[in-house]
Amino acid sequence: MSKENLISQKNIKLNMSRRIRRTPFTNKVEECGVSDFTVVNHMLLPKGFKNTVEEDYWHLREQVQVWDVSCQRQVQIKGPDAEKLVQKMTPRSIKKMETGKCFYIPIIDETAGMINDPVLLKLDDDMFWISIADSDILLWAKGIALGSKLNVEIIEPDVYPLAIQGPKSEDLLISIFGQDIKKLKFFNFKVFDFLGTKQIIARSGYSKQDGFEIYFKGFETHFNETELGEKLWDTIWENGQKFNISPGCPNLIDRIEAGLMSYGNDFTRENNPLECNLEKYCKQEDDHDFIGKEALRKIQSDGIAQKNERNIV
Ligand code: THG
């Protein structure tokens, strides 16, 4: 990032309000010496700490980091038509998706333009979380549900993903949550106990290294949200000392090497999923109805003019 991009260069500050939300971990992130934030889904996302992007990259590849990625908001779709609505939103078939699985799904509009590229979690036959990139999917989902008269309830629950990434993440989480962490396969989740509360943990994350995401929630517990969030952060931090833990955030070098793209930065509604290298989630044999199907099939038969290749390294 060039220095000119930072508004602080001119000593101008970004004014906080309820529209730019803090997270249950923001106090801890500040204590750890965060140097700058960005805003994603109307919520703070730390962008850097004391080290350079290169130093952070090598630390992520060799050790373990804790990332406040609460801005990966969950759009909860619940009710008898939940599956029907989610399926309408993506070219990827979810027919065979089982409870406890995560699916990376493109969401497109009627022109096959990318609207978002979230991780979908199936919590139950009638309940999904859409773990979104930076666009207002709750409004899109509500519009579709209303227009199609679907029987669903759509909310943004108070869930704040905390990512533990890096080769030592498994040993760190075993030391806190036990040996069952080992049994978690990539893009699967299970419920784990933390101080008598139930927390969903998935083996996933926005890095090329091994890692986990704790979908932290403070509701339905006898704790205050920030109090419980800070206890979780402190537990990870204290247990992480012997694994050389650092605070971190999605790392640009690692992300680009992994071919993990960022909505709004690397691609927008101007791009279709084929240009974004997401054709494996747009199989022609997945013949369910979804928004943008006609436009997508036309692009699939006509071919594309540009492509963002992944895994070049
Ligand atoms: N974690 C969660 N939510 C998120 C992100 C995340 N929401 C926004 C953003 N990140 C979504 N982007 C991606 C992109 C790729 C992957 C995860 C999130 C990813 N893909 C697997 C891969 O490329 O190997 C494929 C998974 C599959 O086949 O289904 O990991 O990071 N909670």
Residue 103 lies in a domain: yes
Length in residues, the chain = 313
Residue 9: per-residue pLDDT: 65
pLDDT (tens digit per residue) in 143-193: 999 999 999 999 999 999 999 999 999 999 999 999 999 999 999 999 999
Residue 13: per-residue pLDDT: 80
- Same-domain check for residues 88 and 221: no
If you average pLDDT over residues 211-229, what whole number do you get?
96
pLDDT value at 3 more than 70 = no
Residue 312: per-residue pLDDT: 42
pLDDT value at 1 more than 80 = no
Cα 158 to middle of ligand 1, angstroms: 20
Q: What's the CA gap between 216 and 121, in Å, rounded?
A: 14
Specify the number of domains making up the chain: 2
- Same-domain check for residues 236 and 224: yes
- Same-domain check for residues 283 and 135: yes
- Same-domain check for residues 242 and 139: no
Reported as a pLDDT band with limits 50, 70 and 90, residue 313 is: very low
Q: What's the CA gap between 68 and 44, in Å, rounded?
A: 9
Residues of the domain holding 107: 74-155+260-312
CB under 8 Å to 103, separation ≥6 — which residues?
Answer: 92, 94, 97, 119, 120, 122, 187
- Same-domain check for residues 50 and 124: no
- Least confident range from 11-15, 207-211, 225-229: namely 11-15
Q: Which two tokens stand for residue 37?
A: 């934030």
pLDDT (tens digit per residue) in 97-149: 999 999 999 999 999 999 999 999 999 999 999 999 999 999 999 999 999 99
Residue 11 lies in a domain: no
- Same-domain check for residues 105 and 245: no
Residue 1 lies in a domain: no
* 159, β-bridge pairs: 217
- Same-domain check for residues 47 and 170: yes
Q: What's the CA gap between 313 and 294, in Å, rounded?
A: 34
Residue 19 lies in a domain: no
- DSSP per position, 67-102: EE-TTS-EEEEESTTHHHHHHHH-SS--TTPPTTBE
97 Cβ below 6 A of ligand 1: no
CATH number at residue 104: 3.30.70.1400
Ligand 1 pocket test, candidate residues 186, 215, 260, most atoms within 8 A of CB: 260
- Same-domain check for residues 122 and 237: no
If you average pLDDT over residues 23-46, what whole number do you get?
97
Sign, CA torsion 109/115/116/121: negative
Residue 84: per-residue pLDDT: 98
Cα 63 to middle of ligand 1, angstroms: 21
pLDDT value at 311 more than 70 = no
Residue 87 lies in a domain: yes
Residue 80 lies in a domain: yes
Q: Could you count the other beta carbons within 10 Å of the beta carbon of residue 6?
A: 12
117 Cβ below 6 A of ligand 1: yes
Q: What's the CA gap between 200 and 123, in Å, rounded?
A: 10
Reported as a pLDDT band with limits 50, 70 and 90, residue 286 is: confident
CB under 8 Å to 33, separation ≥6 — which residues?
Answer: 49, 50, 247
If you average pLDDT over residues 204-218, what whole number do you get?
97
Residue 5: per-residue pLDDT: 66
If you average pLDDT over residues 235-255, what whole number do you get?
98
- Same-domain check for residues 68 and 142: no
User: Hey, whose CA ends up nearest to atom 20 of ligand 1?
Assistant: 104
Q: What's the CA gap between 158 and 73, in Å, rounded?
A: 8
If you average pLDDT over residues 38-52, what whole number do you get?
96
CATH number at residue 31: 3.30.1360.120
Parallel, antiparallel, or unpaired for β 197-202 and 153-155? unpaired
Q: Domain boundary residue among 250, 276, 292?
A: 250
- Same-domain check for residues 243 and 180: yes
Residue 90 lies in a domain: yes
Q: What's the CA gap between 277 and 310, in Å, rounded?
A: 7
What pTM value is reported for the model?
0.95
- Same-domain check for residues 150 and 126: yes
Q: Domain boundary residue among 250, 276, 293?
A: 250
- Same-domain check for residues 85 and 98: yes
pLDDT (tens digit per residue) in 82-92: 999 999 999 99
Q: What's the CA gap between 101 and 108, in Å, rounded?
A: 22
Q: Which two tokens stand for residue 291?
A: 């928004």
Residue 221: per-residue pLDDT: 92
Residue 16 lies in a domain: no
Cα 205 to middle of ligand 1, angstroms: 6
Sign, CA torsion 226/37/10/16: negative
Place of tokens 């509701």: 219
132 Cβ below 6 A of ligand 1: yes
CB under 8 Å to 39, separation ≥6 — which residues?
Answer: 20, 45, 71
Q: Which alpha helices (H) appear in the chain, and where do they start and end?
A: 26-31, 53-62, 82-89, 137-147, 169-177, 180-183, 225-240, 252-258, 293-302
Q: Domain boundary residue among 224, 250, 276?
A: 250
Cα 301 to middle of ligand 1, angstroms: 27
